[in-house]
Chain A
Amino acid sequence: MTAVRRAAAGLALLLAAACTAPTPPRGQAGTTAGTVCAPPSGVPEAETATTIDVIEQAYFCILGNYYSGPTLDARSLLTAGFLALTQEINRGGRDVPEAIMPALTGDRKADWAAFETAYRKITDQVPDLRDKLAVVTLEGIVAALGDNHAHWAHDFKRPLDYYDGDGYGLGVEANVDVAQANGDTPRVALPPLFVTTVLGGAAKAAGLRPGDVIQSINGTPPFFDGAATPAIAGLYPDYPEARPVELRLLRQATGRRWTVTLRPGPYERDLATLQVVRSKLLDDGIAYVRMTGFAPDSANRVFKAITRLRTGRALAGVVLDLRGNGGGSPVEATRLLSAFVHGKVTAYQCAVDGRCSTSWTDDTVELLHLPLVVLVDQGCASACEHTSAAVKDLRIGRLVGTRTAGVISGPARSYLLANNTLLVFPDRHHLGPGREVIDRIGVPPDHYVPLTAQDAAAGRDPALAKALTLLHE
């Protein structure tokens, strides 16, 4: 879900489209969903409070539909939920003597009954916490899947003074992105921490610039003994987090050191940069296309852009910039690849018993017959990694940049719960064209070209420069 949050800049616009598998044909829908939970249809009604009945629905929904639902030890889910419950009680500065995990037997229904009995007994002791405890318990159960495409979408809020296109936070992006900072991707963060993009808001008002090195966040260094610290997450507050964040900065070119205090809030972004597909002709006959998400029609937009740049001139190649592309529809990934190769498998989606479905190229898409270099980084997640892995494995083009996010467990499906919240998880896991695991591992670039603080400060793009060199070879 990290991928989704990033793609929509935390504002859930793409929630419906991003990271989700296409709706199965009607004939299949009934068989996968069973009776416990079904995909949403239309606009959900207003959310209501989460209750033990909703948690029960989610539990059986996971067991009936999740990738490893048929085989997983359901006790691990209940234990994780129970742990979260007790932690939340303790967080309130108290405890409940009866908050003891019941014995579980491995019988999924009987274990649920025992869990529910214990849960009710405990929550009756702390009625003021009831709603909150239900929320943390269900969050704990979903987190226990350890699946980066499993997510419970609930209680989505945004500021009342939010406008379409706005961002929220400090208005800055650094070389360690939000997914790395939150531990949602296993990609290693390297020092120093520096600003890569100033998006607006407090960071813009305070005069931050790309390349500025962030030496501390609220007094804590971003790296300790070479390892990233949790302080980095302070750069990326989510609404309603609004406490000011103090940054100690160094501008290497001038040697200036100073401290700024940035208040998180909604901020206006440049509308032109929010377009999911943007393109330009580089002066040496190369089409540069940047795609920040696999939204509906994205592949067609890329094709249209290239066709337009090609009109009346010969192109030497295409640079497809997928850096920071948080993913989206696997259908769009397959279509995009199909403009470069036909008759190939782009990915497999495999059930826990090892049976796989195959994502073939869509050979109705016209081939472009152009050399291709794809720019990738640790922000390239999900459908973006489906694409990158296929580009590499099928030798469609070369990858330049840094290793992808490794956030591609499998195409997620949504299920509507009784309180009008959505439970999202995959029923199959993704493998690359060589049946290799990409989730967590990521896709390594053919040419490793990281961005340095000096590059950022000087406005250089060494990965793009490398791509152009390759296309001119």
Chain B
Amino acid sequence: MRQLLAVAAGLAVLAASACSSPAPPRADAPPATPTGPAALPSPTGPYPVGTTALYLKDASRPDPWNLDADARELKVTLWYPTEQREGQRAPYMTPRESELLLKGSGIASAPYDTLSRTRTNAIQGAEPAGGRFPLVVLSPGFTQPMSTLTSLAEDLASRGYVVAGIDHTYESYATTFPGGRVAECLACDSDTDPGFGTRTVQGRVADVSFVLDQLPSKWDGSALIDRSRIAMAGQAIGGATALAAMVKDPRIRAGIDMDGTTYARIPKTGLAKPFLFMGTKQHITGGPDNSWDRDWKLLTGWKRWLVLTGTEHTSFTDSPLMADALAIKPLPGALPAARAAELTRTYVAAFLHRHLKSQRQPLLDEPSSRYPEVKFCAQS
């Protein structure tokens, strides 16, 4: 359950050729030298991007992990279209968050503050653009701060979406609250419990619904949001949360799961909302994890199941982009970091364009020669 940052530690099995084929041997990597801070790839859409954070408190329920907290506190990071091109770039994370994330992931090959020096593209506190845009909720993997999906979030905002990324408190190595208080990973000591995934996802769904409830009143830029067009995407257990939230919350119209084993019970009568599974070869049809096969039969709306050659569990996050800065040598056969980011951005955006903006997306209809890594694994 506990995912390691980056291609790190070489635990993940590479998808050599999607929908089958054995993994290549592991490289015996000589120690490399950190290259200096990473820079996130430029967003590909027409809009400049602004970002800001909200801190919300749900007094209607106790925190599921901190038994001494009688309310659930959440940090929400917003990325949104702006017209403002100048201004200070937002920090990627704080030095303390970087340290906690690297230590938690067992990475000691670079200075602990390395990730905090990552160059982002979004302008801190920029004035929101005019207009109305669909909303995309993002949820990161277990132990991972929301910032590890920044590359995707910035790109979506540049293409005309408001993105609300949720840090699920105590399920990440580090979440910083106002005043500098840092919540660490209280959930990390119980991630082998039976039912842990189910329980975690239930809590996250409550987080998502609460954020949707609160956004209009708590964010002064919320006029940007077209509340009739909301989707959710996530990586790992965040992807499982996207599916679960879609089952539970009628406001969420469509969802994307990036390589997450799923936990929610879809009603036996089926769920007709659009859904996209995209994963590594661990998530082939009939593969070691049965959860996508199970859910596939109950998804009765538009759906796709894509497996990406050369990806591993964290390829859908910023992790590969950090590999050089952290002196982590990629696994042989792994996609170059920039390509992994491009694939993730391209297919996530294609899905959202299709289902929230009603734009035709041939990429989702059949394999593309421009993206030969993407295999269509199951046909409805």
Chain A residues in the interface with B (C-beta under 8 A):
8-9, 11, 13-14, 17, 42-43, 45-46, 158, 160-165, 269, 271, 274-277, 295-297, 300-301, 304, 308
A42 to B12, alpha carbons, bound, how many Å? 7
Is the beta-carbon distance between B67 and A271 smaller than 8 angstroms? no
Chain A CB within 8 A of B13 CB: yes
Is the beta-carbon distance between A301 and B197 smaller than 8 angstroms? no
Some 26 contacts from A to B, beta carbons below 8 A apart, are: A8-B194, A11-B194, A17-B192, A42-B13, A46-B287, A160-B293, A161-B294, A162-B294, A163-B198, A163-B265, A164-B194, A164-B195, A164-B261, A164-B263, A165-B199, A269-B194, A271-B198, A271-B199, A274-B195, A275-B190, A276-B190, A295-B193, A296-B192, A297-B189, A301-B189, A304-B189
Residue picked from A160, A300, A308, most chain B C-beta under 10 Å: A160
**Known A163-B198, A164-B195, A295-B193: A43·B13 in contact at CB below 8 Å:** yes
Residues on A with beta carbons closer than 8 Å to the beta carbon of B193? 274-276, 295
Residues on A with beta carbons closer than 8 Å to the beta carbon of B67? 308
Residues on B with beta carbons closer than 8 Å to the beta carbon of A160? 290, 293-294
**Which positions 162-201 of chain B face chain A at CB distance < 8 Å?**
188-190, 192-199
Is the beta-carbon distance between A45 and B197 smaller than 8 angstroms? no
For chain B, the bracket of interface size reads: 20 to 34
> When A and B form their complex, which 8 residue pairs have the shortest distance between CB atoms, in order from nearest?
A165-B195, A297-B189, A274-B195, A164-B197, A271-B199, A271-B195, A274-B194, A165-B198
A108 to B195, alpha carbons, bound, how many Å? 46
A473 to B90, alpha carbons, bound, how many Å? 62
**Known A161-B294, A163-B265, A308-B67: A295·B198 in contact at CB below 8 Å:** no
**Which positions 193-244 of chain B face chain A at CB distance < 8 Å?**
193-199, 202
Chain A CB within 8 A of B11 CB: yes
Residues on A with beta carbons closer than 8 Å to the beta carbon of B151? none
Is the beta-carbon distance between B190 and A158 smaller than 8 angstroms? no
- Whole-angstrom distance between the Cβ of B283 and the nearest chain A Cβ: 12
**Known A43-B13, A160-B293: A13·B190 in contact at CB below 8 Å:** no
**Known A164-B263, A300-B189: A158·B290 in contact at CB below 8 Å:** yes
- Whole-angstrom distance between the Cβ of B126 and the nearest chain A Cβ: 41
**Which positions 281-329 of chain B face chain A at CB distance < 8 Å?**
282, 287-288, 290, 293-294
Residues on B with beta carbons closer than 8 Å to the beta carbon of A9? 194
A275 to B194, alpha carbons, bound, how many Å? 7
A165 to B190, alpha carbons, bound, how many Å? 13
Residue of B nearest to A12 (CB): B194
A275 to B199, alpha carbons, bound, how many Å? 10
A269 to B288, alpha carbons, bound, how many Å? 23
- Whole-angstrom distance between the Cβ of A376 and the nearest chain B Cβ: 22
Residue of A nearest to B13 (CB): A43
Chain A CB within 8 A of B366 CB: no
- Whole-angstrom distance between the Cβ of B101 and the nearest chain A Cβ: 19
Residue of A nearest to B240 (CB): A164
A14 to B191, alpha carbons, bound, how many Å? 11
Chain A CB within 8 A of B22 CB: yes
- From A46, A163, A276, A304, B288 is in contact (CB under 8 Å) with A46
Residues on B with beta carbons closer than 8 Å to the beta carbon of A275? 190, 193, 195
Residues on A with beta carbons closer than 8 Å to the beta carbon of B188? 297
- Whole-angstrom distance between the Cβ of A273 and the nearest chain B Cβ: 9
A17 to B197, alpha carbons, bound, how many Å? 17
- Whole-angstrom distance between the Cβ of B94 and the nearest chain A Cβ: 26
- Whole-angstrom distance between the Cβ of A197 and the nearest chain B Cβ: 15
Is the beta-carbon distance between A301 and B190 smaller than 8 angstroms? yes
Chain A CB within 8 A of B68 CB: yes
Residues on B with beta carbons closer than 8 Å to the beta carbon of A17? 192
Residues on A with beta carbons closer than 8 Å to the beta carbon of B265? 163
**Known A163-B265, A276-B190, A297-B190: A269·B293 in contact at CB below 8 Å:** no
Residues on B with beta carbons closer than 8 Å to the beta carbon of A14? 192, 194
- Whole-angstrom distance between the Cβ of B331 and the nearest chain A Cβ: 11
Residues on B with beta carbons closer than 8 Å to the beta carbon of A13? 192, 194
- From A42, A164, A276, B11 is in contact (CB under 8 Å) with A42
- Whole-angstrom distance between the Cβ of B221 and the nearest chain A Cβ: 37
Residues on B with beta carbons closer than 8 Å to the beta carbon of A161? 294
Residue of B nearest to A46 (CB): B288
Is the beta-carbon distance between A164 and B189 smaller than 8 angstroms? no
Residue of A nearest to B202 (CB): A271
Residues on B with beta carbons closer than 8 Å to the beta carbon of A271? 195, 198-199, 202
A158 to B288, alpha carbons, bound, how many Å? 11
A8 to B194, alpha carbons, bound, how many Å? 7
Is the beta-carbon distance between B288 and A165 smaller than 8 angstroms? no
Sample of 20 further A-B pairs with CB below 8 A, known A163-B198, A164-B197, A295-B192: A8-B194, A9-B194, A11-B194, A13-B194, A14-B192, A42-B11, A163-B263, A164-B195, A164-B263, A165-B196, A269-B195, A271-B198, A271-B199, A274-B194, A274-B195, A275-B193, A276-B190, A297-B189, A300-B189, A304-B189
A237 to B362, alpha carbons, bound, how many Å? 49
Residues on B with beta carbons closer than 8 Å to the beta carbon of A300? 189
- Whole-angstrom distance between the Cβ of A423 and the nearest chain B Cβ: 19
- Whole-angstrom distance between the Cβ of B288 and the nearest chain A Cβ: 7
Residues on B with beta carbons closer than 8 Å to the beta carbon of A43? 13, 282, 288
**Which positions 3-25 of chain B face chain A at CB distance < 8 Å?**
11, 13, 22-23
Residue of A nearest to B282 (CB): A43
A161 to B263, alpha carbons, bound, how many Å? 11
Residue of A nearest to B2 (CB): A296
- Whole-angstrom distance between the Cβ of A67 and the nearest chain B Cβ: 27
**Which positions 260-280 of chain B face chain A at CB distance < 8 Å?**
261, 263, 265
